[in-house]
Each structure stands twice: as C-alpha cells, then as structure tokens.
Amino acid sequence: MPGSEATTTLLLLRHGETALTAQRRLSGSGGSDPVLSETGRRQAAAAGESLAKRDAVHAVVSSPLRRCRETAAAAARGLGLEVRIDERLREADFGVWEGLTFTEVRERYPDELAAWLRSPTAVPGGTGEPLASVAHRVESWRDELLARHAGQTVLIVSHVAPLRTLVRLALGAPPASLFRMELSAASVSEVAYDGSGIASLRSLNDTSHLR
C-alpha cells in the first residue's frame, strides 16, 4: 500500500450455520448451495448487531454462495452498507466429497484424503479444487482489496477455506496450518495491515456475540 500510513482492517466473518454445518459435512462450491438454517439466521443477526457497535466499517464483500449472501445481508443492514459479491471468495469445490463428513471421506477415500491433507496441490474428491488454487485466487483478491480500501475497515463474509487462507497469508504460515485453525459458524476474526503492508492477526474465531 504505497503512500498509505493508515491501518487497513479485515473483519473475517464465516457464514452462519446451515443444515450441513450442523452435521459437520463438507459443503463447498460444487454442492447443493444450502441456505442458512434457523440457527444460522439467528447467528447472522447476532453478528450483524455486534458489528454495528464497532467503529466504522466501510465496505462489505461476500462470497456468491447463498449462505454467505444471507449472512452478509444481515450484517450489512445494521451497517447501512450494500454487499459487493466477489467470486474469488467462494468455498473450495470438494468434488465427490461434497456432503460427506470427514469420517465418511476417511473411510471411503483414505489415500485421497491423506494426499489432500499432505499437499496443497492435491485435488479433493477427484474433480475438486486444490487448496493451492484457493490460495491463488484469495491472495489476488486480497491484494486488490488492500489497494482499493487502504486505511479502511472491510467486512469479508466467506467460508472456512478462503478465511483460513487469509489468516495463513497474514501469518506467513505454511499451507498445513489451514488444518490447525478453528473457524466456527458466524465467528469473526480480524487481520490488520499497516501502512507498509505488514500484517498482524488481532483475533481468531471470536464467537462472543453468539453467547
């Protein structure tokens, strides 16, 4: 962010719960695109109320998938902002693993799962999207966002893989770190970039607004 000395803050909001979230099933961009459950709608509303009490938020950007658009709409209402959609914030495609639990994937596709956990270039579910591809699109989006919103606070509503990737990039951590982060439904994490582009993780998986 050449010429900018102000801090740019990214608020990372995971979408609220869906029926698949509650069952801990993989739900990517290649699946059924579920809507929020009743619990998820309450979570989205609670997140919106909490965010409205913060210092100014200048923009809201969301994944195009319905669970994120619904969550973002609830948050944006309290902020008085419109939601901008960006395809690069969509969840990974998990191929034939879509809708399965990790236990079911481990039982049916043990070698493929082991390869995916080991390497970011491995293709999940035979036809899905490697985590390296997720990182590439998320990183290019982040760079554009930092240039466009230098010195501002932006709410990002997305999914586990893109949000974990934003945290990983901020920390300069290896790809394997993605599997060592917990991001609960409707949780908020915060990453800040100073004027020289140095990132710091301020919070991770904050769910205090849901209690």
Quote the DSSP letter at residue 139. Answer: H
Q: Kindly list the catalytic residues.
A: 15, 91
Count CB-CB contacts under 10 A for residue 134. 25
| Tokens (6 digits) for 163 | 């949000």
Using alpha carbons, list the distances in angstroms from residue 7 to 115, 147, 155, 159, 179. Answer: 38, 12, 14, 24, 28
CB 16 within 8 A of CB 44: yes
Q: How far apart are CA 111 and CA 152, in angstroms?
A: 44
